[in-house]
Structure 1
Amino acid sequence: MGKKVRIYKSVSIFDGVTIGDYSYVNAGSIIRSGKIGRYCSIAYNCVIGAGEHPLDRFSTSSRFYRKNKLKHYLKWKEIYSPPVIEDDVWIGANVTVLQGVRIGQGAVIGAGSVVTKDVEPYTVCVGVPARKLKDRQVQEAHQVFIENDWNLMSENEIYHKLGDNLVR
């Protein structure tokens, strides 16, 4: 966990998950696997990087690929490719992010979406499966800031450098 990360009630975060500075995860979310960047906003009831069941076996039940009655582990990797959520991503309520995807910096994922493939930086994606709706329009005054790795700065540095331009 990075510094000043906020985790709200009833959130499940599994081993191996990383969350960058100044990000938050709202109530009811489950983060099974993945890397979450700095300044990310994750709304209520999201599921990120959940395990998957095998589709090529006689059964998809975990009774047959976890430790079985014979005390043998049957080979199946539930977490094969944790998702990567880059810096400054906003994920709306009830979103599912599947394994193997990358959500680019500054992207927005609309409520109720299911992210099944990579999302380009600074795009807004919605739907099931999530598709690009539009590009985020960043104000000209902020463009230089974005191009100079603002996401690596602390909150205080950002407020100091942007000042009144932060709210315009």
Structure 2
Amino acid sequence: MSIIQKIQSNPRRKALALRLLIPRGQARPRWWVRNFLNPFLHHRGRNSVIRRSVRLDILPFRKFSVGNLTIVEDFSCINNGMGDVTIGNNCTIGLSNTLIGPVSIGNDVILAQHVVLSGLNHGYADINLPVHLQKCDTAPIIVEDDCWIGANVVITAGVTIGKHAVVAGGSVVTKDVPPFTVVGGNPARPLRRFNPQTGEWEKA
């Protein structure tokens, strides 16, 4: 059993470790974690750029990686506290995006502005307990290679966006999107599909 597994298996140890890493009631790691621990534990690809105003709520016990030639634009927020966040090569993470793990983004993906990918859901079943004290559930979001996610899109936990799919701006995606499909709306539904027999994008 690894050190991390030993800590996570013991509630008292886990609470102490979290207190050392994050101030109580906050998501942002302490200064020493951000500056002296994370840079040595998480992968940054060749010629990748993470703008200075990006908020990295990154903890050392979960994975965070950015591929080669990928850019994370200003005012975005990335949080791996509840699940790994991995971003592939040659991706653009646009202005003011929010990525809350578990999230996996493939290669050559474009996220436009104000996109939210959250693999986390807060529990609410117990009406006698405040929501912020209830157990969170996670389900991974997967964005496969060569996708384009438009501005102001929300992708909910557990959704997979297939290869070369397009999500129209302002959409809320609650179900998987097949490869080579354009979806839009709230909730998002198929608008166009690529037909390999005709070589055309056709109405869904």
Counterpart CA distance in 1 for 2:111 and 2:194 is: 18
Three-state SS of the structure 2 residue aligned to 1:52 is strand
Could you tell me the TM-score, scaled by structure 2's length? 0.59
Question: Aligned pair count?
Answer: 128
Answer 1 or 2: which has greater strand percent.
Answer: 2
Distance 1:30 1:55 in 2: 22
Q: Matched residue of 1:35: which SS?
A: strand
User: Partner letter of residue 111 of structure 1?
Assistant: G
Aligned position for 1:22: 90
Q: Please, which of 87, 107, 114 is the counterpart of residue 165 of structure 2?
A: 107
- Contact 2:107–2:145 at 8 Å: present in 1 too? yes
Gaps of 5+ in 2: 1-65, 200-204
What displacement does 1:53 show? 1.7
Please tell me the root mean square deviation across aligned C-alpha atoms, in Å.
1.7
Q: Which residue number corresponds to residue 175 of structure 2?
A: 117
User: Which of residues 148, 169, 178 in structure 2 aligns to 1:90?
Assistant: 148
The structure whose RCO (Cα within 8 Å, separation 6+) is larger is 1
Which sections of structure 1, spanning at least 5 residues, go unmatched?
A: 66-75, 141-168
Q: What amino acid sits opposite 2:88 in the alignment?
A: G
Counterpart of 2:117, as a letter, is I
TM-score, length-scaled by structure 1: 0.71
Tell me which residue corresponds to 1:61.
131
Percent identity for Structure 1 against Structure 2: 34
Moved >2 Å (runs of 4+): 136-140
Correspondence for 1:36: 105
Distance 2:191 2:107 in 1: 24
Q: Does 1:45 align with 2:97?
A: no
Whole-angstrom CA distance in 2 between matches of 1:51 and 1:86: 19
Q: Offset of 1:57 from its aligned partner?
A: 1.4
For 2:113 and 2:194, the matched residues in 1 are separated by 22
1:47-77 deviations in Å (ceiling 9; x for gaps): 0025322131115520x22xxxxxxxxxx13
